[in-house]
Amino acid sequence: MAPEKDPPRQSEREKSDETLRDSDSASEHQADFDRDAERVEADKAKLQSRSDSDASRDLGRADVGRSGAKRQAEGDERLRVERQTSDQAIKGERLRTDAATEKGRSHHQASARSSAELLSQEQKSHQRTRATLTTREEFLAIVSHDLRNPLNNISMAAQNLLEDPKDVKEMAASINRSAVEMLGLIQDLLDVERMALGKLTLHIEEHDVSEIIKQAVEQLQGAAASKGVTLEAEPQDVCGYVVCDRSRAMQVLSNLIGNAIKFTPAKGKICVSCQRTGPEGKEVQVSVSDTGEGIAPEKIKTIFERFSQIHNQDRRGIGLGLYIAKMMVEEHPGRIWVESKLGEGSTFHFTLPLRSGAIREAKSQ
């Protein structure tokens, strides 16, 4: 299902919001202008009234004698006090009116900002939901495709056995490889669900890391040979007993070797090695190196993310293997990373904690 084209609708909303803000601003400016104009007219009228009153009073002064001059002065003082009181009352009322206006505007602006934030959050949530649904649809399509491929291989091999059972061993090996591929994919899907629900459990014990490497290499020798790729484990002088869940460590190593096989061309080479590392040598670093095509720098940053390969045109997998490997390693706890250059191959590294005092000398020593 193709996603709807939301950008035009978002653009219309933004234009509408901008128009509304401009309209509110213009209304506020007009209200301020009208209020100030009314106050100017009121002040003019008040001054004119006072001027007329003063003129009338001055005319009356000419007609009064000295005895009346004192009374007139007292009247002038009372008038001055009354006018001062009136001016202060008007000023106070205007200040209260201005404060109420500003408070109302602040409330309106805060409400407008809140509405804008809510709208922005709604739009982002809508975009995330659409992206999730799109990824989910693509993911289901990819899983169906990747399960169908090995199932078709099993079906074809079984049909060939029924029609011409001469190459029984080769066909049985093909069936076994396809079945293992399907089981691996199903296991990946189940592991992702367990991790999402926080139900992933590890059975931690002490294991010889060299034996884990040896077993993983042996299990994937057939897959490497079928592609004409050399797969080997580099001998170590000193091996360590790591503290890990053996099946999960095997799963991580198998994922890394399996990826290396996918991206290494015929006549290429894959080497698995390990060494002591970390503070005071208390970790074992396992490395899987290949002579494949390498990884572009911009993809190295996202290669361990879930479904990282979904939008890749050259997709060989559903993008769960490295994500699961990362989660498994970090649960032990350990670290996982990659070093790669285009055209020069890649090397994936991960670490596991080393049991204190569990170093043994190699058989040659």
Chain centroid to Cα 174, Å, comes to: 41
- Contact present, 240 and 359 (Cβ < 8 Å): yes
List the helix and strand counts (H, then E) for the chain. Answer: 8, 7
Joined tokens for residue 58: 């001055």
3-state secondary structure of 359: strand
- What radius of gyration do the chain's Cα atoms show? 42
- Contact present, 304 and 293 (Cβ < 8 Å): no
pTM over 0.75: no
> Does the pLDDT of residue 109 top 90, yes or no?
no
| pLDDT tens column, 181-215 | 788 777 777 777 777 777 778 889 999 998 999 99
Range 331-339 contact pairs with CB under 8 angstroms and sequence separation of 24 or more? 331/200, 331/202, 331/248, 332/202, 332/204, 332/243, 332/244, 332/245, 332/248, 334/283, 336/252, 336/304, 338/295, 338/300, 338/303
| pLDDT tens column, 152-181 | 888 888 888 888 777 788 888 888 878 877
- Contact present, 260 and 223 (Cβ < 8 Å): no
Instruction: With cut-offs at 50, 70 and 90, classify the pLDDT of residue 3.
Output: very low
CA atoms of 361 and 349, how far apart (whole Å):
23
Q: Is the dihedral of CA 316, 308, 324, 278 positive or negative?
A: positive
Joined tokens for residue 100: 């109420």
What are the b/e assignments for 266-296, b being 16+ CB within 10 Å? eebbbbbbbbbeeeeeebbbbbbbbbbbbbe
CA atoms of 123 and 7, how far apart (whole Å):
11
Range picked from 41-50, 64-73, 113-122, 288-297 for highest mean pLDDT: 288-297
- In 3D space, the residue among 320, 287, 259, 316 whose CA is nearest the CA of residue 135 turns out to be 320
Instruction: With cut-offs at 50, 70 and 90, classify the pLDDT of residue 362.
Output: very low
- Contact present, 72 and 54 (Cβ < 8 Å): no
> Does the pLDDT of residue 358 top 50, yes or no?
no
3-state secondary structure of 260: helix
CA atoms of 147 and 308, how far apart (whole Å):
19
- Contact present, 242 and 352 (Cβ < 8 Å): yes
Residue 282's pLDDT is: 83
| pLDDT tens column, 315-354 | 444 467 788 889 889 988 899 999 998 888 999 999 999 8
- In 3D space, the residue among 333, 309, 338, 339 whose CA is nearest the CA of residue 321 turns out to be 309
CA atoms of 210 and 362, how far apart (whole Å):
10
Place of tokens 């290669």: 303
